[in-house]
Structures are given as C-alpha cells and as structure tokens.
Amino acid sequence: MFRSSFRAAKDASRSFSTAANSRPTTSYALGAGLLGAAAFAYVSYNTKSAEWMKGSKDAPKTLTDPNEWVSLALMSTEQVNHNTKRLKFALPSEDHVIGLNIASSLLTKYKGPTDEKPTIRPYTPVSQEDAKGYVEFLVKKYPNGPMSTHLCEMEKNQRLDFKGPILKYKYEPNMHSTIGLVAAGTGITPMYQLIRAVMKNPEDKTKIVLVTANISEEDILLKREFEKLEQEHPLQFRAFYVLENAPSDWPGQGGRISKDLLKTVLPGPEDKNFKAFVCGPPGFYAAVSGTKKSPKDQGELGGFLSELGYAKEQVYKF
C-alpha cells in the first residue's frame, strides 16, 4: 500500500511543479476543477484583502512584556480526539488580542499544591493572531506530562499564567519561494500559525508543502482546516498525511515519514530560497533533521534532510 500511495504522491508533486519550481513539490492533479478552485481562491483573496490590510494593529495587546506573567481564565474546552483538547481562554476584554507575531509562541506556568516549583511549558496558539477576546490552544495529554495533564483537566473559570511572546522565527512575506513543513503530533501548531499567516496575506506568494506524521487518522489535528485551505489555495498549499497505522483504504501515505517521501514532495537543496521547518517529539527531530542542542541553539543538521543534501541554513527546528 505504501508503494502505491507513494506513487500517487509522486504524480501529485509533478502536477504542481509547473506552478512552483522545476523540481516536484506539491498537489494532486486537479484537472478541470483547478480553474474553478483557483477562481474561488482569487475571489477569496480579494474579499479578504481589505481585512488583512486593516488588521488589528490598534487593538490592545494582552502580552506586552515577555518578562511579565498574565493570568487568564478558561472559557471553554472541547474534546478533539481521544487524547487532545481545544482550550479557549478569555483575554482581558473583548477588544484585546493576544499580541503574538509570526512565528512565535508563549509560555504557560502552573504550580500544583504539592509542587516545589512551577512547571513551565511553551505552547503555540491555534487561534488567529488578530482574534479578539480569546486565545485557543490544542493540547495533547501525555501520560507523564505535568502541564498537559493539568491543562486537559482544567475546568471553566480556572486560571492559568501566560508569558510572551517568544519569537521563534522572524517571518516576512515572500522571504522564501517555497516552505516545507515537516511535523508530528502537536508539532503541527507552529506550522498552522505559519501556514495561516501566508494564506491570509494576498500579497504573499510563498508556496507551502506540509508533511505531517500521525499514528492514526483520528490523531490528525487541524485536518479540516488544512483541507479548507487546500481548496481555497490549490496553487499555493498542499498537505500530505502519513499514518503509522494506516487502514487498508487510506488514500494517503502509510508507515512513517521517509527520506524518499521528502525527496519526492519537497524542492531540492539546489533551491537556495527554499526553507524547511521541523517540529515534533525528540525522536522525530532525530530522524528528520537532527535534534536541537537547546531552545536557542539549533544544533547541527542531521537526519533525512542532511542526507538529502540540504544546508543547515535551509532548515529551522521549532
């Protein structure tokens, strides 16, 4: 099954290559429907253009000092799948925005009644940066994760401390011709932030290839949002989903993300204006790009991307 779906991915990337680079990148053959989808994307771009230009620059920001903790109350929770929740926190007023730039995250802090010191963990919101009155997160509960366990067990009106923004990668429109996003699990959240920023800006022509690894189809986060973006931007965005436990009727990739798959769907290292972003658990980093030495030290490039010939400067590890 993996070989047949791999061939489908290869054919898909060929169909998109004329719109992106001379080397295959993304997208399945869209045939006659491509024109209609492109027309829809054009209308969508132009109707949202005024909103994008206006933005929310004048809205008060919740996080204004990266050294100051701000307490926010939980508005609501939604069970997304068997181990992931969507949490919505209220900002100080209905006019406030969270105050994050692209691409950045924030810190959360919690100290249990028997804890000697607080637990601090970074999270990337999945709500729009210009969303007023609230901020949302996707949180996967890990068996031995003190912060994720606390977050998933929080009840309405409980409060949590936040601090930021923590700038990860200073992105500017059109700074890269194509972006390749390789993610696993909740490592998808910073990728979603970047994808959304590009697709929201009608002046940004950057093409994006997303490759995400999950255990099962149920574990794919934000799939509905990505499918909508693919429909609206068929010449600019393409997503590939890889399932470790893929069912027999799964139309996408089965197994794990491999060097061959990345070679097929990403532009080659000769494209010096290409940038790859990687995010996931430690073992995923080790396989795809090599691990980071610390939050501020990217470490040496390793894994599949190094084996494919990419330079360290072409890869960023969230």
Confirm or deny that 224 is annotated as ligand binding: no
| Helix, strand, or coil (residue 70) | strand
Does the annotation flag 148 for ligand binding? yes
256 is in an annotated binding site: no
Q: How far is CA 83 from CA 40, 75, 117, 229, in A?
A: 36, 20, 26, 25
Q: Are 179 and 208 in contact (CB under 8 A)?
A: yes
Strand ranges, E, within the chain: 70-79, 84-90, 104-110, 119-123, 134-140, 159-167, 178-184, 207-214, 237-243, 253-254, 274-279, 315-317
Count, residues in the chain: 318
Supply the DSSP string of 151-181, one letter for each residue. Answer: HHH--TT-EEEEEEEEE-----TTS-SEEEE
Nearest to 63 by CA among 127, 106, 108, 102: 106
User: Which whole-number Å values give the CA distances from 310 to 64, 147, 158, 304, 305, in the listed order?
Assistant: 37, 35, 46, 9, 6
138 annotated ligand binder: yes
Annotated binding-site residue? 71: no
Q: Is 73 helix (H, G, I), strand (E, B) or coil?
A: strand
Distance of alpha carbon 220 from alpha carbon 139, whole angstroms: 13
**Strand-strand pairing, 134-140 and 84-90:** antiparallel
Q: Which two tokens stand for residue 216?
A: 């099962």
To the question of whether residue 282 is assigned a binding role by annotation, the answer is no
Side-chain-side CA neighbours of residue 29 (13 Å): 7
DSSP state of 240: E
Q: Known binder of ligand: residue 121? A: yes
Given the structure tokens 């073992």, which residue do they identify? 283
Rg (CA), the chain: 20
Binding-site residues, in ranges, read: 121-123, 138, 140, 147-148, 189
Q: Could you tell me which residues are annotated as the binding site for FAD?
A: 121-123, 138, 140, 147-148, 189
